[in-house]
Structure 1
Amino acid sequence: MSSAAQLANDIPISMISADLAVGRKRLGSVWNGVIPGIVLVAMITGMAFSAHNVSGFALFSPMIFAVVAGLIYSNVLGTPAHAKAGIAFSQKRLLRFAIVLLGFQLTLGQVVSIGAGGVGIVALTLGATFVFTITLGRLIGVDAKLAQLIAAGTSICGASAIVATNIVTDARDEDVTYAVASITLFGTVAMLGFPLLAPVLGLDQHAFGLWAGASIHEVAQVIGAGFQNGAQSGEIATVAKLTRVALLAPMVIALGLMARRKSNGDRPSDQSGARPPMPWFVAAFIAVVALNSLVAVPAEVKSAMAFATTIMLTMGLAAMGLQANISQLRSRGLRPLALASCAFLFIGCFSLMLVKFA
C-alpha cells in the first residue's frame, strides 16, 4: 500500500466530516451575511443601467435611477433582513474603491492644460461655493451634515463627491439620498440651460467650456453641456471638471480634520487620545492620479476603469436607496432643496463672473 493511501486510512472519518461541516458553515455564513444583499443591489443596478439606455432617459446618470429604484423597493416591499450586510458592504466598501478608481480619469497634465488662470477659477469657485453653502445652510436651519453633502455635491463633482464626503461626515442615508436628488435636479437644469445662455452672455467656446466645467455638478452633465457648444468647448469643460474632481481629495482631508477637531473637542479629556482615522481612499486616489500621470495607461484599461467606477458608484447609491426612509426624507422639508437651489445659482453666477472679468 502506498504511503498516501496509508495516510488516508490513518485519518479518522469523523475528522473529515468535521472539516466539511466547518467549510459548509463558513460558506453558509458568507451567503447569509453578504451575498444576498450584493445580489439585490446588483439587480437594482442592472435595472438602473437599463433605464439609462431607454430613449429619452440617457441624459440621466444610472446613479439617480439606482437610488430612486432602491428607495421605492425598500419603502414598498421592504428590505430583507438577511440582505442588510451585503447592502452595507456595497454602500461602504464599493464606494471607497469607486472613488479610488476615479483617479484613472485624471492626469496632472490635463490640469496644466487649462492654464493657471483656469485652475484658479476652478479652485476659487469651489472654495467660495462650499463656504457659501455651509454658511447659508446654518442661517436657514439646515442640518450641518446635510448642508455639507449639498455643498460638496454642488462645488465638486455631484454624487461622487457626496458619497466621498459622507464617508467623513457619516450623515444619515436619507440625507445622502436627498442631496443626490437635489444635485441631480439642478445639474440637469444647468446641462440643458447653460448652452442656451452662451450666445446671450457672449461666451466663446473657450470661455463657455471653462464656465461649464467650473459650475455644472456631474461629470456627465458637464460633457453633455460642453459638447453642445462645440468640440473645443467640450474638451475644455471636461478638463476643468476633472480639475474639480482632483480637488476632491484636499476637500475630504479638510473635512476629516474638521471632524477630528470637533470630535476631540467634544470628547472628555481622558479620552482625547482616540482619534477618528483619516480615510485611506483619499491617499489611494492621489496615488492613482500620480500613476496615471507618470505611466501611459492604455486607453482600454482607462475605459474599463471608468465603467467599473460607474458600476460601483451606482451599486453604492442603490444600497443607500435601499436603506432610506421616505417618511424621514419628507421630514427634511423644503429648506435643503432651497439651499441646493441657492448653491446652484451661486456657483453659476460666481464662476461666470470670474470667467468674464478675471
Structure 2
Amino acid sequence: MKDFIQNETVQKVVFIILAVVCLTPIISSPIALALGFGLAIFMSNPFEKYLHKYIHLLLQVSIVGLGFGLKLNEALQAGKTGFLLTVISILTVMVLGFILGKVFNLEKKLSYLISAGTAICGGSAIAAVSPIIKPSTKEISLGLAIIFTLNSVALFVYPAIGHLLHLSQEQFGLWCAVGIHDTSSVVGAAGKYGDEALKIATTVKLARALWIIPVSVITMFIFKSKGSKIKIPWFIGLFVIAILLNTYFPVFNSLGSSVTAVAKAGLNLTLFLIGSTLSIQTLKTIGIKPLAVAVILWITISVGSLLYIIS
C-alpha cells in the first residue's frame, strides 16, 4: 500500500482528479483547501515545485473575473465603507508588530514580514517588501508558512463565527477583507457566506492591497534601502476595468454570471493548489516565537475589526 501511495504516476493521477473535482460546484472553498492539504500529507504533491508561480497567476485571473459580477456603484460603496477601518487596522498591526517583535526578541526582518503580511494582503505583501528589506530565504519561507497556515484556519473559522453571530452579508464581507490575510482565503470565506459578502470582501481587499505601495515606500526609509523596486499589484487595475465594462457595456451583463462562475471555480482550484503545497514538514519549520507574534496580531485585527463592524 505504501509503495502504491508513493508511486509518482498514482500521485499525478490523484492530483489531477482532485483538481478537476475542485472546479465543480459541489466542492466549497474550505473543502478544496482541505483536499489539497490531505493530498500533501498522505501522498505528497508531485507538481509542487512547478505550482507557486501558477498559483499567483490563477488567483489574479480569477479575481479579475469576479470584477464582471460587480457594478461601479457597488464597488465605490464597498471601498468607501472599508477605507477608515483599513487605515486604522494597518497602522495598528504594523505598530503592534514592531512592539511584539521587540518583546519576543524576534529577528527584525521576520517580524516585519509577518506584520506586513497580516496588515495588508498576506503572501502578496511579503513578496512586495522582501526585495526591499532583503530577508534570508528561510525568513521568507517561514513568514509565508505562518501566514498561509493562519489563512487556512480562517477559511473554516470565519464563516462559523459569522453564522454564530448572525452577521449580515455586508458585515461579514467587510470583516473578511480586514481580518483574513491572503486574498485567496478572503474570497474563499466570503464566497461560502454569500454573493453579497463576496462582492464587498473582494472590493475592500483589493483596495486594501493597494496599500502595498505606500507601505513599500515607508519600508525603504525604515531599512534604508536604495534602488529597491516597488512591486505594484497591476492586476487590480484589470479588476477595475472589468467592473467598468460590466457597468457601462450591456453586452457584458449577460456574460457576467458565467464569467463569475468560472472565476469562483478558479478560486477553488487556487485554494486546492495552496493546500497541496502545505505539508507537515513545512508546518514543523514554524517556531513558537514567530507563530505567537502572528497569532496575537491576527487575533487583534480579527477581534478589533469585528467589534468595530458590529458596534
**Mapped pair 1:313 → 2:277:** no
Q: Cα gap change, 1:93/1:109 in structure 2, threshold over 3 Å: closer, same or farther?
A: same
Q: Cα gap change, 1:289/1:336 in structure 2, threshold over 3 Å: closer, same or farther?
A: farther
Deviations 1:56-88, CA, capped at 9 Å, x for gaps: xx472523532x246436xx65757xx74x435
Conserved 8 A contact 1:101-1:309: no
Paired residue for 2:65, among 67, 86, 101?
101
Identity %: 16
Deviations 1:259-287, CA, capped at 9 Å, x for gaps: 66678x345xxxx4x73553433433343
Q: Cα gap change, 1:240/1:149 in structure 2, threshold over 3 Å: closer, same or farther?
A: same
Name the amino acid aligned to 1:182. Answer: L
**Mapped pair 1:291 → 2:245:** yes
Q: Cα gap change, 1:48/1:173 in structure 2, threshold over 3 Å: closer, same or farther?
A: farther
Q: Cα gap change, 1:354/1:300 in structure 2, threshold over 3 Å: closer, same or farther?
A: closer
Aligned match of 2:75: 111
Paired residue for 1:45, among 7, 19, 24?
19
Q: Cα gap change, 1:329/1:281 in structure 2, threshold over 3 Å: closer, same or farther?
A: same
Aligned match of 1:243: 203
Aligned match of 2:32: 62
CA–CA distance in 2 between the matches of 1:90 and 1:255? 26
**Mapped pair 1:196 → 2:170:** no
CA–CA distance in 1 between the matches of 2:204 and 2:63? 14
Aligned match of 1:354: 308
CA–CA distance in 2 between the matches of 1:349 and 1:258? 27
Aligned match of 2:259: 302
**Mapped pair 1:123 → 2:121:** no
> Structure 1: which 5+ residue stretches go unaligned?
1-37, 153-160, 199-204, 228-233
Conserved 8 A contact 1:150-1:183: no
Name the amino acid aligned to 1:331. Answer: T
Deviations 1:121-161, CA, capped at 9 Å, x for gaps: 54345435543564455343272323432333xxxxxxxx4
Q: Cα gap change, 1:168/1:39 in structure 2, threshold over 3 Å: closer, same or farther?
A: farther
TM-fit CA distance, 1:47: 6.2
TM-fit CA distance, 1:113: 4.6
SS in 2 for 1:275: coil
Conserved 8 A contact 1:211-1:355: yes
SS in 2 for 1:244: helix
Deviations 1:283-319, CA, capped at 9 Å, x for gaps: 3334334434433422333334423531552365257
TM-fit CA distance, 1:250: 1.2
Aligned match of 1:180: 148
**Mapped pair 1:138 → 2:101:** yes
Name the amino acid aligned to 2:72. Answer: L
SS in 1 for 2:229: coil
Matches within 5 A, 1:196-235: 196-198=164-166, 208-216=168-176, 217=180, 218-222=186-190, 224=192, 235=196
CA–CA distance in 2 between the matches of 1:65 and 1:45? 9
Deviations 1:314-353, CA, capped at 9 Å, x for gaps: 365257x1xx664453232234443444334323443344
Paired residue for 2:51, among 72, 82, 87?
87
Name the amino acid aligned to 1:103. Answer: G
CA–CA distance in 2 between the matches of 1:242 and 1:333? 32
CA–CA distance in 1 between the matches of 2:85 and 2:55? 30
Name the amino acid aligned to 1:101. Answer: G
CA–CA distance in 1 between the matches of 2:113 and 2:304? 24
Question: How much is the aligned-residue C-alpha RMSD, in angstroms?
Answer: 4.2
Aligned match of 1:165: 125
Conserved 8 A contact 1:98-1:309: yes
CA–CA distance in 1 between the matches of 2:233 and 2:141? 19
Q: Which has the higher contact order (CA 8 A, sep 6+)?
A: 2
Name the amino acid aligned to 1:214. Answer: L
> Structure 2: which 5+ residue stretches go unaligned?
1-11, 131-138, 181-185
CA–CA distance in 1 between the matches of 2:307 and 2:51? 43
SS in 1 for 2:30: coil
Conserved 8 A contact 2:173-2:198: yes
Bigger-Rg structure (1/2) = 1
> Which TM-score applies when normalising by structure 1?
0.59
Moved more, 348-357 or 245-254: 348-357
Conserved 8 A contact 2:65-2:259: no
CA–CA distance in 2 between the matches of 1:277 and 1:356? 35
